[in-house]
Structure 1
Amino acid sequence: MRTINLFKILLLLGVFGLFTACSEGEDDNITNLPEDPEVEAGTIAGIASASEDFATLVSALSAADLVTTFDSPGDYTVFAPTNDAFANLLNAENGISSFDDLSAEALDVLLKHHVVAGRVFSTDLSDGQMVETLAGTMLEVKITNGVVTVGGSQVAAVDVEASNGVIHVLSDVMVTTKALTIAQVAISNPDFSTLVAALSQAELVSTFTDANGEFTVFAPTNSAFEAAGITDLSAVAKDDLTRILQHHVYGGVALSTSLSDGQMIPTLANTKLPVSLTDGVTIGGGTVTAADIETVNGVIHVVDAVLLPQTIVDVAGRAGAFTALLGALSATELTDLFNFDGDKEYTVFAPNDDAFAAIEAVLPTLTTEEIARILAHHVVEGKVMASDVTEGAMLTSLAGTKLTASLMGGVTINGVDVVATDVEASNGVIHVIDEVLLPNTIIDVAKSAGFTQLLGALDATELTAMFNMDGDTEYTVFAPTNDAFAAIADVVETLSVEEIARILAHHVVPTKALAGDLSNGQMVKSLAGTYLTFDLSNGAKVNGVSITATDVMASNGVIHVVDEVLLPNTIVDVAKSAGSFTTLLGALDATDLTEMFNMDGDTQYTVFAPTDDAFAAIAETVEGLTTEQLKGILAHHVVPTKALSTDLQDGQMVETLAGTMLTVTIMDGKVYIDGVMVAAADVGASNGVIHVVSEVLIPASN
């Protein structure tokens, strides 16, 4: 049976003897037990109640609701501790100062541990005999030179017969670990004195004193602490000590029979302990020297080593060369990400302290978010060993940036030397580098170059993330300087977030175009759907704006610096800036036509644009129109080609987007469209031309 094996293990360790109290004392008041009950004379309960020597035992039986059992017919053998035996128990170093320190379940087990079913007289006992108790525990009988001990306690008097059994008097209380908490077992055993002191310093004793808890503790002995070099607990920070201790505890009951090779046991520290059964039983690298010490609130397995957590943070901490890195992780609240064993593993390219010292002047200028991003730039999800890396391999970091590996002339990451590889941890691997890796996206480059206005606008329009990570798309950004933004500060204040976002998108081409890739007259489409045209005839210009610096490289593209903000110049943009076409623009929005005239494509348009006054003159008519009717009227003002005033001829008929016809009349040098005079002609736009009309043109069918 498993209990027999457990009992033998305890004897080998000398543990059981430590659970029996051997000092003298006569103060029974410290038991905190109830008054003696009424019992029948001649029963086990009656005989015990009649003797002052068993007052504590009787009170304990009463507290455990066991008096009736031993006051009723039956056959029991009770190994009865005297008052002095109980006093010795309560005075011993075992975590039990009164019976209040035992739960109801523990007291029940403790008392039943002294009772065997049936009548067993002294003449029935033999040396080496094992008897099972009502608690399901086993007691070993030893007879040496006529002295009888049961469960390690000397029998002081034998064969006190009762009507329902027999009593043998004991000089000590026999204590089974099943009646104690984990804390009480540890306190009872001098070989766990360092463990108990550590639990006390970490304020964890109460956790393992709670009888309602369920724990599995892999308990290091004193010699295990010595072997680990932990001899002065005061030199260990409380948080570090707490983490080490919690790393030894599973929040449930795991007997040795439930363990399997390769199993990972989760701990209270959010770490995992690997189980190996290939050469004995090892847990987290420590050998189990005694197993299955069952207690009221769990089980203890004795290990011969202090089990140290092996997460990336733990390994870096013990290495001693990553103080700055660990400090940065703590300051950015990233420590927890790498300080537990979960489903994910990580590869960390860890800069040593010298690497951080080299940028100590830069660090104070960075925000917490910026430091966090730099740290994330050093981490790849997944465990990547040195042997997994190939020349030119691109690894994606947690920051969304790319890390490029090179194996030419040693291993480098983004050009930085890897000075140590494959430092394994329970949740990944560390490769040591001698420089801090700084991300180099368009945003990073712009920050270092001081483009504060551009960056602020990107933040305000939620476009930062697009240019702050390395993906499949690279970008060319024509970046206006702070002075360029200052020159249009009054204009920017009047713009909506969407309008600012469009202006910014007008500066970006969704491909990487170096200066050498550009040609005179070349037109490239921006993210806004507008065209950027290059003039290289006298310096480099884009849409007429000078490019003052080229080929500022970034990991996700390139920056060319411009000295003015590039304003998109579509028909819609021109109409907005004119300020006298609010009604026209609103009508385009209402009929979903804005987009057609707000980007540059293969088609150019001629728009005969009615002013706000023109629309006001027919306001009542417009209010009565359906969306489709309004759309038809607007389309009647648009010709799907670019026609300057000089292209128009008297009597000319031009077809509109609505399929209707407009008649051109030129009289006295003035241009009329369907009899309405063009008040201003040839207002240029990137996707066509506007001619301003003073009346709304109504199709004949309307």
Structure 2
Amino acid sequence: MRTINLFKILLLLGLFGLFTACSDDDDDNVTNLPADDDDPVAEVGTIAGIATSSEDFTSLVTALQAANLVETFDSPGDYTVFAPTDGAFANLLSANNGISSFDDISAEGLDVLLKHHVVAGRVFSSDLSDGQMVETLAGTMLEVDITDGVVTVGGAQVSAVDIEASNGVIHVLSDVMVTTKALTIAQVAISNPDFSTLVAALSQADLVAPFTDSDGEFTVFAPTNAAFEAAGITDLSAIDNMDLARILKHHVAGTVALSSSLTEGQMIPTLANTKLPVSLANGVTVGGGNVVAADIETVNGVIHVVGTVLLPNTIVDVARDAGSFTSLLGALSDTELTDLFNFDGDEAYTVFAPNDAAFAAISDVLPTLTTEEIARILAHHVVPSKIMEGDLSEGAMVTTLAGTKLTVSLMGGATINGVDIVATDVEASNGVIHVIDEVLLPNTIVDVAKANGSFTTLLGALDATDLTSTFNMDGGEYTVFAPTDDAFAKIADTVEGLSTEELANVLAHHVVATKALSSDLSDGQMIETLAGTMLTVTVMGESVYIDGVMVQIANVEASNGVIHVLGDVLIPSSN
């Protein structure tokens, strides 16, 4: 037996003699420690006892105590421990890896890290061979390399071997074997120089903290430095922090997805509320980027390395990248509609998108519109389904988010409500854009009345009675005999005295549930109103009267009917 002088094992009141290790094997690949045959052989201690008694393993003992593993290695059993020295731990804590103390490693991570150094059973140096793979208590694998008499295990050099204990054997390492399973995603990224740009981007966008949380569950598709360079992203400071955060979140799923769980055509929801499509046709691609290294497991998720920066491709992203929709994007922002088209939800949209030139043509009108009116105009350009150019047909009517209808024409080129479609099928992850060179203005009865300017009281009454939406959508067709503001002014006192229900009845008394142009009206005709009352038509020459009130202006057409203007309010006989 040879004495292991390197470890300077303490006698501790005579309970332990100098620790000795067997070195009877003739394996030239393992360097044994010098012998001292004059030292007596003491009773062999446990792995924990030997480590505790040595001045070379204070950090290891501290880690074992923090992970509540001292008792495990102080009890009967059979273990092989690859034990890092204090110097090895010092190197770990001083490296650029996000770990400056054991406090930076989660309890779960520390448990994994330590068990990553332990193999079940007694494995002596003579049992090791070049290229051998040994499984640890952490479920990880360690590769043995023996080259020119130098033994490394898991990439760490073995500096002493075959230190026997009552419950196993110790081999000494000059480095800590770090498994990503013991680290957070942030620590793995920080410790890998290929992710320095990614780490800098996360730092700039204030997103490092979530990935240091050991309780998190994430899947990160991590672009390398080369991926950022290939995307032309060399100056992070030139990117708005909100935009940068969105790009980064587009690379992250809020669940753990190993490569074995990915399926063809799968859509992975991201933290940016976008979706990443999966393809397995030629290797694994996610969001269009090739996965070049998969399943780097961590304590709070998994990293898949991608060779491409994955850029969001929603309708808003496509419009922003095009550079010719600044006014449209500004209007979406002003009306808080951006998010609707910036996420990959269950809905897909078709946007007939006016370019900047189209908005410039109505620049004098826009400042006069309320936010609500602008929002309605924008919604009038959007269909809540994906309609490609090939899906359009002559005369088709498509319903918009505003409840209005748009008419398709293919005669002499595609048009929508008579406006030329100048570019089609600009696809996005959540729909498609067709570019138009004019702004489409809704043309319902309410829109026409607002544009006229003479029906403020009528419109206010519709609002007060919750009837505006009835005439503001293209769901049906109506004929409205519309009193002007002057007409309402004549009976202002009467109107003020009406209850909401009575006012609604007066308004309904002015509406017929069909579209009737003046040419459709005949003398003596009786027409029923929405109030269930009857109106009498009188035709005298070129003039038309409704219940004795002359129609001042006839046939003001709207997309959902027609307006005939009256100079007096029609009062139902019951009122």
Decide: shared fold, TM above 0.5.
Answer: yes
Partner of 2:47: 44
Match of 1:443 among 423, 426, 446: 446
Question: 1:120 Cα shift?
Answer: 1.9
Q: Give the alignment of 1:136-155 within 5 angstroms.
A: 136-155=139-158
Q: Give the alignment of 1:265-304 within 5 angstroms.
A: 265-304=268-307
2:522 and 2:537 in contact (8 A); partners too: no
Partner of 1:564: 568
Question: 1:41 Cα shift?
Answer: 6.2
Q: Distance in 2 between matches of 1:291 and 1:98?
A: 29
Q: Give the alignment of 1:242-391 within 5 angstroms.
A: 242-391=245-394
Partner of 1:652: none
What code does the residue aligned with 1:545 have? V
- The 1:566/1:172 distance shift into structure 2, 3 A limit, reads same
Question: 1:194 Cα shift?
Answer: 0.8
Q: Distance in 2 between matches of 1:41 and 1:530?
A: 110
Question: 1:523 Cα shift?
Answer: 2.9
Q: Give the alignment of 1:122-201 within 5 angstroms.
A: 122-201=125-204
Per mean C-alpha deviation after superposition, the further-off stretch among 151-160 and 296-305 is 151-160
3-state DSSP class of the match of 1:430? strand
2:481 and 2:511 in contact (8 A); partners too: yes
Q: Distance in 2 between matches of 1:363 and 1:511?
A: 33
The sequence identity of aligned pairs, in percent, is 77
Q: Distance in 2 between matches of 1:73 and 1:508?
A: 93
1:73 and 1:164 in contact (8 A); partners too: yes
3-state DSSP class of the match of 1:67? coil
3-state DSSP class of the match of 1:100? helix
Partner of 1:690: none
Q: Distance in 2 between matches of 1:432 and 1:224?
A: 32
Q: Give the alignment of 1:487-636 within 5 angstroms.
A: 487-528=490-531, 529-537=533-541, 539-568=543-572, 570=573, 572-573=574-575
What code does the residue aligned with 1:530 have? M
**Residue 99 (str. 1) matches residue 123 (str. 2):** no
Q: Distance in 2 between matches of 1:203 and 1:538?
A: 73
Match of 2:426 among 418, 423, 427: 423
3-state DSSP class of the match of 1:161? strand
What code does the residue aligned with 1:113 have? H
2:44 and 2:164 in contact (8 A); partners too: no
2:537 and 2:544 in contact (8 A); partners too: no
2:44 and 2:166 in contact (8 A); partners too: no
Partner of 2:119: 116
What code does the residue aligned with 1:169 have? V
Partner of 1:469: 473
Partner of 2:461: 457
Per mean C-alpha deviation after superposition, the further-off stretch among 311-320 and 515-524 is 515-524
1:534 and 1:540 in contact (8 A); partners too: yes
Question: 1:538 Cα shift?
Answer: 6.1
1:122 and 1:159 in contact (8 A); partners too: yes
Q: Distance in 1 between matches of 2:228 and 2:504?
A: 62
Q: Distance in 1 between matches of 2:513 and 2:77?
A: 93
Deviations 1:311-358 (A, max 9, x none): 212221222221211221122122222221222111111111111121
Partner of 1:656: none
Partner of 2:231: 228
Deviations 1:33-72 (A, max 9, x none): xxxxx99962222222222111111111121122222222
Deviations 1:81-140 (A, max 9, x none): 111110110000111011001111111111111111222222222211111111111111
Q: Which has the larger radius of gyration?
A: 1
Report how many residues are paired: 533
Q: Distance in 1 between matches of 2:203 and 2:313?
A: 24
Moved beyond 4 Å, runs of 4+: 38-41
Question: 1:267 Cα shift?
Answer: 1.2
Q: Distance in 2 between matches of 1:221 and 1:424?
A: 27
1:512 and 1:558 in contact (8 A); partners too: yes
Q: Give the alignment of 1:634-653 within 5 angstroms.
A: none
Partner of 1:208: 211
**Residue 483 (str. 1) matches residue 486 (str. 2):** yes
1:219 and 1:301 in contact (8 A); partners too: yes
Q: Distance in 1 between matches of 2:470 and 2:140?
A: 69
Partner of 2:57: 54
Q: Distance in 2 between matches of 1:307 and 1:143?
A: 41
Q: Distance in 2 between matches of 1:405 and 1:186?
A: 52
3-state DSSP class of the match of 1:448? helix
- The 1:538/1:109 distance shift into structure 2, 3 A limit, reads closer
Partner of 2:26: none
Q: Distance in 1 between matches of 2:156 and 2:493?
A: 96
3-state DSSP class of the match of 2:187? helix
What code does the residue aligned with 2:359 have? F
Match of 2:416 among 391, 394, 413: 413
2:404 and 2:474 in contact (8 A); partners too: yes
3-state DSSP class of the match of 1:52? coil
**RMSD, aligned α-carbons:** 1.6
2:80 and 2:118 in contact (8 A); partners too: yes
Question: 1:161 Cα shift?
Answer: 2.3
3-state DSSP class of the match of 1:53? coil
What code does the residue aligned with 1:185 have? V
Q: Distance in 2 between matches of 1:540 and 1:72?
A: 106
- The 1:538/1:86 distance shift into structure 2, 3 A limit, reads closer
2:535 and 2:546 in contact (8 A); partners too: no
What code does the residue aligned with 1:560 have? H
Partner of 2:8: none
3-state DSSP class of the match of 2:424? strand
Q: Distance in 2 between matches of 1:137 and 1:523?
A: 88
Question: 1:230 Cα shift?
Answer: 1.6
Per mean C-alpha deviation after superposition, the further-off stretch among 545-554 and 170-179 is 545-554
Structure 1 residues without counterparts, runs of 5 or longer? 1-37, 574-702
3-state DSSP class of the match of 1:384? coil
1:406 and 1:412 in contact (8 A); partners too: yes
Q: Distance in 2 between matches of 1:536 and 1:222?
A: 83
What code does the residue aligned with 2:553 have? A
3-state DSSP class of the match of 1:527? coil
Q: Which has the higher contact order (CA 8 A, sep 6+)?
A: 2
Q: Distance in 2 between matches of 1:488 and 1:559?
A: 21
1:520 and 1:537 in contact (8 A); partners too: no
1:535 and 1:544 in contact (8 A); partners too: no
Q: Distance in 2 between matches of 1:106 and 1:42?
A: 28
Question: 1:495 Cα shift?
Answer: 2.0
1:286 and 1:305 in contact (8 A); partners too: yes
1:127 and 1:141 in contact (8 A); partners too: yes
Q: Give the alignment of 1:678-689 within 5 angstroms.
A: none
